């Protein structure tokens, strides 16, 4: 009963945003929501006690400022949760029902992950007709936020039956794509790498101490802040792979890196940084 009442209160809040004010009465809401009048009246009384609803005019109830903020938050969560569940193959009716519980009870951290996943689905659909594009196109279409993305750094040439660069171990996984007002930055965190020295064979530890990214016909310095390196997402070249639910946006850019021990012990490297969106 408590869960039902919680869900009903959320639905009522959202109705106040979407319906005409004159329809947001006990009778009008009961009809729209398919609930008994007394149940709706109890829910509205609870919202009033919580400071979310002003019922000083019984025939003209209104959301308070806090109620409007809560309604908008739940409304956004519902839209995102429904889209996410439908994209994952859940039927419309079930998605509507389960999205209510996700919107109410998921932590903000969990919902942030759902929001990020839904945003990825949305942008993949929006770019479905673009076979190739650069990172600027991707970021202009994304909502502001931080996206955690898997990446692999490849060697230019296969060595010892592997094309994975040693530099792949030199950064924390995943990386981050930070988008603000349509502009994106790729952010990497350097971590120590253990590797046999080219000079004496002893295992030594070092971090990346310089990083350049390819920008058209030249290499530019990435920005450094402590262990973090970042470069513009527009430098990435994307290829659209697959279709529908299996669609992957594959981005890549050439990087040049040196390490703190110098090339005598660990070779400098030119490698291909790739992300999967």
Per-residue model confidence as pLDDT tens digits over 116-166: 888 888 899 899 999 999 999 999 999 898 999 999 999 877 676 778 888
> What gap in Å lies between CA 228 and CA 238, rounded to an integer?
24
Predicted local distance difference test score (pLDDT) of residue 215:
92
Predicted local distance difference test score (pLDDT) of residue 138:
97
Predicted local distance difference test score (pLDDT) of residue 231:
98
CA atoms within 13 Å, Cβ hemisphere of 69 = 5
> What gap in Å lies between CA 207 and CA 169, rounded to an integer?
10
> What gap in Å lies between CA 206 and CA 264, rounded to an integer?
13
Predicted local distance difference test score (pLDDT) of residue 267:
66
Angle, CA 44 vertex, CA 43 and CA 45 arms, to 5°: 90
Predicted local distance difference test score (pLDDT) of residue 237:
97
Predicted local distance difference test score (pLDDT) of residue 196:
65
Pair 95, 40: CB distance under 8 Å = no
Other C-beta atoms lying within 10 Å of the C-beta of residue 208: 23
Stretches in the chain below the pLDDT threshold 70: 1, 158, 160, 195-201, 260-268
Predicted local distance difference test score (pLDDT) of residue 122:
87
Predicted local distance difference test score (pLDDT) of residue 269:
75
> What gap in Å lies between CA 268 and CA 259, rounded to an integer?
7
Instruction: Render the chain in DSSP notation, one character per residue.
Output: -HHHHHHHHHHHHHHHHHS-GGG-SHHHHHHHHT--HHHHHHHHHHHHHTTSEE-SSTTS-EE-HHHHHHHHHHHHHHHHHHHHHHHTT--HHHHHHHHHHHHHHS-HHHHHHHHHHHHHHHHHHHTTT-SEEEHHHHHHHSPSEEEEE-EEEEEEEEETTEEE-GGGGGB-SSEEEEEETTEEEEEEEB--EEEE-TTT--EEEE-EEEEEEEETTEEEEPEEETTEEEEEGGG-EEEEES-GGG-EEEEEEEEEEEETT-TTTS--EEEEEEEE-
b/e map 237-246, b = 16+ CB within 10 Å: ebebeeeeee
Chain segment 259-269, per-residue pLDDT in tens: 766 664 456 67
């Amino acid at each position: 009963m408590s869960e039902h009442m919680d869900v009903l209160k959320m639905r009522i809040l959202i109705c106040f945003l979407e319906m005409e004010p004159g329809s947001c009465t006990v009778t009008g809401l009961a009809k729209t929501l398919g609930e008994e009048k007394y149940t709706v009246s109890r829910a509205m009384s609870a919202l009033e006690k919580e400071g979310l609803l002003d019922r000083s005019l019984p025939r003209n109830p209104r959301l308070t400022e806090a109620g409007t903020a809560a309604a908008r938050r739940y409304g956004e969560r519902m839209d995102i949760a429904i889209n996410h569940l439908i994209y994952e193959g859940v039927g419309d009716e079930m998605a509507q029902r389960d999205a209510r519980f996700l919107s109410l009870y998921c932590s903000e951290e969990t919902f942030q992950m759902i929001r990020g996943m839904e945003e990825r689905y949305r942008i993949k659909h929006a770019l479905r007709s673009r076979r190739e594009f650069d990172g600027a196109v991707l970021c202009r279409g994304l909502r502001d936020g931080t996206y955690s993305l898997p990446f692999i750094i490849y060697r230019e040439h296969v060595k010892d039956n592997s094309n994975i660069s040693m530099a792949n171990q030199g950064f924390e996984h995943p990386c981050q794509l930070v988008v603000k007002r349509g502009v994106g930055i790729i952010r990497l965190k350097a971590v120590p790498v253990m590797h046999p020295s080219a000079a004496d064979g002893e295992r030594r530890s070092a971090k990346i101490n310089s990083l350049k990214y390819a920008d058209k016909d030249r290499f530019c310095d990435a920005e450094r802040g402590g262990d973090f390196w970042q470069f513009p997402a527009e430098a990435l070249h994307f290829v659209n792979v697959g279709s529908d639910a299996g669609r992957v946006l594959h981005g890549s850019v050439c990087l040049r890196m040196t390490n703190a021990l110098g090339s005598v012990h660990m070779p400098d490297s030119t490698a291909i940084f790739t992300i999967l969106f």
